[in-house]
Amino acid sequence: MLMRSAQQSGTAHVIVLGNEKGGSGKSTTALHIAVALLKAGQRVATIDLDCRQQSFTRYITNRCAWAERANLALEVPEHHCLQLGESMQIADNESFELEQFAQAMAAVERSHDFIVIDTPGSDTFLMRLAHSMADTLVTPINDSFLDFDVLGTIDPTNYTVTGESHYAEMARDSRRKRRQHDGSTTDWIVVRNRLSMIGSHNKMLVAGVLDELAFRLGFRPVDGLAERVMYREFFPRGLTALDDLNEATLGRRPSMGHVTAREEVVELLRKLKLPLDERGRRRAANRAEWAAQADKALELHDIVDN
């Protein structure tokens, strides 16, 4: 059975990005999480379960291509993309895709610290399976009541929660199955993306309703990425706000907006409270020390022992 426990020695921590609505920033958030972990010295693998759209895969492919073209040392995870089953039988397609998923997980779950999985914006067999395997479930939503509908329904008069959505029920059921299977709990975080950079009545209302639903469903609501054009500009080159943004990477000088974007991504990662491996921290520190020394001339004592 394709289930796993984070408590098993040497097994990767699984982060799943899930939302049944498209355009919520799943792939952008997924790559920023993966790159942040790589920069922290963690061994990261990524899996794209969106066999049809493959936005996550194209983002990583763009990153590899731009790194080669611009001669940049961009961190890239070990990536796996599932192929779409094209049989006339749904059961055969699910079996074909499940086998690929099982092979991808088997290839990376004991050799990596983290596995970041991007799921399709629709209710599929693999999407549900991934949710039931998550140690950390990240659900990005756009900061509006239109996107809040993926989690629940509200009273139009007083903006109180009146019900839970199909996706919310599925996520809760997946968490329950995980707990029953191996006793592990899934940390569910709802990330508010495309936040307005100025305060508004709507922004306050959405925050209040999310807090109410969070109490009912047991997720943690956190602020994510603001509404910035640069996040869309990053995609063709596979860049993130965490990369060294200069004229070589961007093709132009970075702005204060790039600095602010990096700060908000760092804050988002802090709020996710991911269990960074201490060995990874040391790898990152050693790499940073090497990079700092790489451009310096060697001293005599670096070459000859006294």
3-state secondary structure at position 213: helix
Position 7 scores a pLDDT of: 44
- Position with higher pLDDT, 170 vs 306: 170
pLDDT in tens, 6-48: 444 468 999 999 998 877 889 999 999 999 999 999 999 999 9
CA dist 74 and 47 (Å) reads 19
pLDDT digits (tens, 9 = 90+) for 60-97: 999 999 999 999 999 999 999 988 767 677 777 778 88
For residue 198, the model assigns a pLDDT of 62
pTM over 0.95: no
User: Closest by alpha carbon to 207, among 225, 217, 195, 198?
Assistant: 195
User: Residue 228: CA atoms inside 13 Å, Cβ hemisphere, count?
Assistant: 22
Residues forming a β-bridge with 79: 46
